[in-house]
Amino acid sequence: MNHLTSWTDLDDATWRACLDRALWHRQNRAWSQSAAAKALGLVFFNPSLRTRASMDLAAAHLGAHAVTLTPGNGTWGLETRDGVTMDGLAAEHVKEAFGVLSRYVDALGVRTFATLTDPEADAEDRAFRAVVDASTVPVVNLESARWHPCQELGDAATITDHLGGDVRGKKLVLHWAPHPKPLPRAVPNSALLMAARLGMEVIVARPDGFGLDADVLDLARDAARRSGGSVTESSDRVGALSGASVVYAKAWAGSGVYGSPDHEAQQRASHADTWRLSSDDLVQTDRAAFMHCLPVRRGVVVDGDVLDGDRAIHLLQAEYRLHAQKAILEWVWGLGAEG
């Protein structure tokens, strides 16, 4: 079964074929009936604008029908943990819910964010794995604790398109950004893997205490070895930005979030002014494109004039979610490329 849990479970050739297909979809913008009579279930345990709208439309563009459910909001609250006594808010277990949905649809898309309170559950992507285990049809990860593969493919296509093809050796700075709340790492993890797979020179610029997980950095370095790219970390944001072709901003929680959340919040707040991206920061780059997965808080993560400026490609990036997810659904359903 073609589950898309993480691109790390799949080979580079599959990723590249989906990337090429996403680029093709943007050029052709074709609606088809290639997935006519197929149904897609979309289950959002957490909020979404882009993923929800673009997955629904990706299905429609291919002639499939999507049904969207939000547990706890018009749909029964769902329990993902195994072996618990269900005397809380959740009225139904994912074993039953996804067992049933699997009998209605031909694939499922599921969003389950990190808890940011249970490090083992997040490291194992436990909630998402519970859904996959309960499903008997392919499952597409719409952002789990660890990964956001739809974002990852859309971002790869955005960079390839915007920078004009081969981006090997070009410099991408994955730039930590301030935020009033601790945020999960699925997007920075996926952005790191994406840029490494493209063969870019990737620098993760972040303050001390906000490094990404060692196993994710190892996966990215493996990908960079295969592609001819490189992956380094730096707390010197000014040095990192010099000569960059892409600046990808994202807020994420520090490593202290599980054990000492108050300290992590203090650390995060202490970097608010220094690490917020401004148009002055972009001057030292090689006319870098600015990226953000959205949603973004203006004046907190980045100044509004950067988002309004001609280097910002965050709307193209969001558009590519639609094209990338059409490619993903075609792969999931084994629909061979038309055109």
Which one, 138 or 184, has the nearer CB to ligand CP?
Answer: 184
Binding residue for ligand CP, selected from 1, 36, 49, 283, defined by CB under 6 A = 49
Q: CB under 8 Å to 47, separation ≥6 — which residues?
A: none
Structure tokens at 331: 């792969």
Q: Which tokens sit at 208?
A: 């001390």
CB of 214 to ligand CP, least distance (A): 25
Binding mask 263-302 for ligand CP (x = CB under 6 A): ------------------------------xxx-------
Alpha helices in the chain (DSSP H): 12-28, 50-61, 94-104, 119-123, 126-134, 149-162, 186-197, 214-227, 237-241, 261-270, 272-275, 279-283, 304-308, 314-332
> Which 127-186 residues touch ligand CP, going by CB under 6 A?
143, 151
Burial of 249 per CB tally in 10 Å (0-12, 13-18, 19+): buried
CB 299 within 8 A of CB 261: no
Tell the burial category of 334 from Cβ atoms under 10 Å away from its Cβ (0-12, 13-18, 19+): exposed
Minimum Å distance from CB 54 to ligand CP? 8
Q: Of 106 and 143, which has the nearer Cβ to ligand CP?
A: 143
1 is an interface residue for ligand CP by CB under 6 A: no
Pick the piece of the chain touching ligand CP (CB under 6 A) from 47-55, 89-97, 128-136, 220-228: 47-55
Q: Which of 48, 227, 230, 234 binds ligand CP (CB under 6 A)?
A: 48
| Per-residue mark of binding to ligand CP, 195-224 (x: CB under 6 A) | ------------------------------
Least distance (Å) between residue 294 CB and ligand CP = 5
Query: In a 10 Å sphere around its CB, with 0-12 CB exposed, 13-18 middle and 19+ buried, how is residue 273 labelled?
Result: exposed
Shortest Cβ 320–ligand CP spacing (Å): 11
Query: Rounded to an integer, what distance in angstroms lies between the CA atom of residue 200 and that of residue 178?
Result: 25
Contact yes or no for 250/187 (Cβ under 8 A): yes
Minimum distance, C-beta of residue 150 to ligand CP, in the bound complex (Å) = 7
Residue among 285 and 325 whose Cβ is closer to ligand CP: 325
Of residues 21, 50, 146, 268, which one binds ligand CP by CB under 6 A? Answer: 50
Question: Which residue, 52 or 93, is less far from ligand CP as judged by CB?
Answer: 52
Residue 332, Cα to own-chain centre: how many angstroms? 18
Task: Using CB under 6 A, pick the residue from 5, 51, 144, 285 that binds ligand CP.
Answer: 51
Closest CB to ligand CP among 187 and 240? 187
Backbone angles phi and psi of 102, in degrees to 5: -65, -20
Contacting residues toward ligand CP, per CB under 6 A: 48-51, 143, 151, 293-295
